[in-house]
Amino acid sequence: MPTLLMLFQLKPDQLEQVRRRIPEWTIVSARDSEITEEQYRDAEIVLGWDSAMTTSFDSAVNLKWVQTTSAGVDKLPLDRLRESGAALTSASGIHPISMTETLFAMLLAFSRNLHHAIRRQSDSEWRASERYSQLAGKTIGIVGVGAIGTEMARLAKAFGMTTLGVRKSARPVDVVDEMYGMDQLGDVLSRSDMVVNVLPYTEETHHIFNAEKFAAMKTDALFFNFGRGASVDTAALVAALEQGEIGGAGLDVFEEEPLPADHPLWPMDNVIITPHIGGWTDNYKALVTDIFLENLDAYLSTGQPTRNVVDLDRNY
């Protein structure tokens, strides 16, 4: 009897939708500590991922398909997945709205100095900031224009901003005023008042935002990272902020997570930090369920999932 291992906990009604599709399967849905090594080893389909699955992977001889619950897949053993022949699908497509709203929460906080006001409120201090700005008329550079970057550009246009985009293919997008290839990243950085990173993590994007890239930006530009932590050289970012090479940063992802309590980014008053929650939303499980059920239907019909299939030669 085939086994579905659910490392991501669905709500009862969502789990029932899964059961109706595979009534003859064994469905293992429990807390990680309750899942046995044998159940990890016997899984044909895995929803989610954890460290125990990584440990058991080499003995998981029945594994045919892994559905992740995140858009990024760089924390999985991709080389071993490629060698095994198992399919890998991501949850790409469920994050655009929540991540865009998180970005604009940060953008508006910076433009109206809300991050300073909140800190002063905690001290009962009535004091205005020296400078306030507005988003209208500013230029935003979005690096990695996929589904998330497109939604960010759409909302930026609604705020009256000029949108510049960078993507590997340089293929145009309606809501992006000017689209460029990766070889023109430096030009986009030099023109942008705000730079947003939403690149996936690959060998090519490792530390792509380094000292040279920060030096190319305007001295009052804001940098936002909603891509992957390792695409930014954190030491170079800290130096750029400390030396005034850029104006500030809004960061949701980091090279090291959790960010250490003694990290120099924490006390900076021109930095807004969120703990990798940019994609979270109260209907996250429902969105994951929709993707998983669509892929499960395809898998049962053809033996292969079809939505958000990861190219294991490109790692995204």
pLDDT in tens, 45-81: 999 999 999 999 989 999 999 999 998 898 899 999 9
**In the CATH hierarchy, which top-level class contains the domain 3-93+284-302?**
alpha beta
CATH fold match for the domains 3-93+284-302 and 96-273: yes
What is the C-alpha to C-alpha distance for residues 266 and 10, in angstroms, rounded to an integer?
Answer: 34
Structural contact between residues 72 and 201, judged by C-beta atoms closer than 8 angstroms = yes
Cβ-in-10-Å burial (0-12, 13-18, 19+) of 22 comes to: middle
pLDDT at residue number 34: 84
* pTM of the predicted structure, to 2 decimals: 0.89
Q: Which residues are catalytic?
A: 228, 257, 276
Domain ranges of the chain: 3-93+284-302, 96-273
Amino acid at 71: A
For 225, which DSSP code? E
pLDDT at residue number 124: 97
Query: Which residues in the chain show pLDDT less than 70?
Result: 30-33
Superfamily of 96-273 according to CATH: NAD(P)-binding Rossmann-like Domain (3.40.50.720)
pLDDT at residue number 31: 62
pLDDT at residue number 28: 94
Q: What phi and psi values does residue 295 have, to the nearest 5 degrees?
A: -70, -35
pLDDT at residue number 314: 84
